[in-house]
Amino acid sequence: MMKTDEDFMGLALTEASKGRYHTWTNPMVGAVVVKDNQVLATGYHHRYGDVHAERDAISKLTPEQLFNSTLYVTLEPCNHTGKQPPCSDLIIASKIKRVVISEIDPHSLVTGKGIKKLKAHNISVTTGVLAQEAKKLNQHYVYFYEHNLPYVTLKQALSLDHKCSYPNKRIQITGNAASQRVHQERADYQAIMVGSSTALIDNPTLLTSIKQDHPPIRLVIDRRGRLLNQQLTLFSDNRAPTWIFTQNPELAKTSYPPHVKVFLLDQGTLTEVLQILAQNKVQSVYVEGGPALMKSFVEEKLAQELITYFSPTFLGSNALDGFEITENLKLIQPNYQVLDKDIRISGRIDYV
């Protein structure tokens, strides 16, 4: 049975997803080489700094196999030298006849340039096959290069009476299944953010159980400098980079271990924080802070996604409320999932 471009690109997307948790600031990319309606080789970008998906697939074949073949790749081949040489040159040298691309790369170094070079060498190029699926796979990467700001997801855990915790006391509302899912979510982001209250009350590690070459950067928003002279695990464990954002000059002058960096803010806004993160190539942020921090992100319309874990418990009137939504917003195509006794609801935020 003859297979379609969508069939082969679906396989390429499956290959791309194998790089999850390991490509860091690089996108997940998959490639498939096809000839006479038969798959000859597959490849993907295994980890940051390694060979690109196209080279991974092409390297498995002989020149005879590659001649007049079709390459399916989920993202536009690069035409510049970075940590790896240009994939466009390799495709041309391999005498591949046709290249099918799912998504044009939003990175300005790449956008359109790889396609232009392939066409200049009489290679047939088709674009847009399963483009939405490819964009979703690398939505943080795409958003970052389209908007020059990190993709921000807010995560909260709530009881059925819309409570999030008790004053000055660390508690875990949800069960183990939800906790494991949160660790997976953390690993999908390049940074994890909390406010100073969460840092002081919970003394968290903000780590993930997923093994990674580049663990998420731990971010703390501490405008007033409440963390000054505090003995926190974040400062001493040296297990992941830790960045503090403050308007307190004394905190900015404090000497910390090499894994801790302090940024002195001028205006003290979340927009300023995100701009600093963008300048440092941080593409995505997973916000686990308290209700005040969550509310600020929503009010400033800086969050793209909301994840809520509901626990079938009631914490009572002495507990703290979850963040109050005063804006008119809704979730686009919300996803619902049962995790043991808890319910996870997620979706893109539509600021109506």
Task: Confirm or deny that 193 is annotated as ligand binding.
Answer: no
The answer to whether 222 is a known ligand-binding residue is: no
- Of 6, 15, 54, 300, which residue is the catalytic one? 54
2 annotated to bind ligand:
no
Q: Is 35 annotated as a binding residue?
A: no
User: Under a CB-based contact definition with an 8 Å cutoff, are residues 339 and 178 in contact?
Assistant: yes
**155 is known to lie in a ligand binding site:** no
DSSP element (H, E) containing 186: helix 176-187
Is 71 among the annotated ligand-binding positions? no
> What are the percentages of helix, strand and coil residues in the chain, rounded to 5?
30, 30, 45
Extract the tokens encoding 308: 């809520």
52 is in an annotated binding site: yes
Is 63 labelled a binding residue? no
Tokens encoding 81? 């030298």
Is 109 annotated as ligand-binding? no
Residues 278 and 146: their CA atoms lie apart, in Å, by 12
For residue 3, say whether it is annotated as part of any ligand binding site.
no
Regarding beta strands 305-311 and 38-44, do their DSSP bridges make them parallel or antiparallel, or are they unpaired? unpaired
By C-alpha distance, which of 239, 275, 210 is closest to 285? 275
Is 292 annotated in a binding site? The answer is yes
At 348, the amino acid letter reads R
CA pair distance 154, 138, nearest whole angstrom:
18
Give per-residue burial for 266-289: e unless 16+ CB within 10 Å, then b. Answer: eeeebeebbeebeeeebbbbbbbb
> Is 185 an annotated catalytic residue?
no
Is there a binding annotation on residue 295?
yes
| Residue 259 in marked binding region | no
Please name the residue that has the structure tokens 């002195």: 264
Q: Binding residue per annotation — 294?
A: yes
Establish how many alpha carbons lie within 13 A of residue 176's alpha carbon, considering only the half-sphere containing its beta carbon: 0
Sequence ranges of the binding site for substrate: 186, 206, 288
Write out the binding residues for Zn(2+): 52, 78, 87
Residues catalogued as catalytic:
54
Q: Which residues are annotated as a binding site?
A: 52, 78, 87, 157, 186, 198, 202, 206, 288, 290-296
As annotated, the binding site for NADP(+) includes 157, 198, 202, 290-296
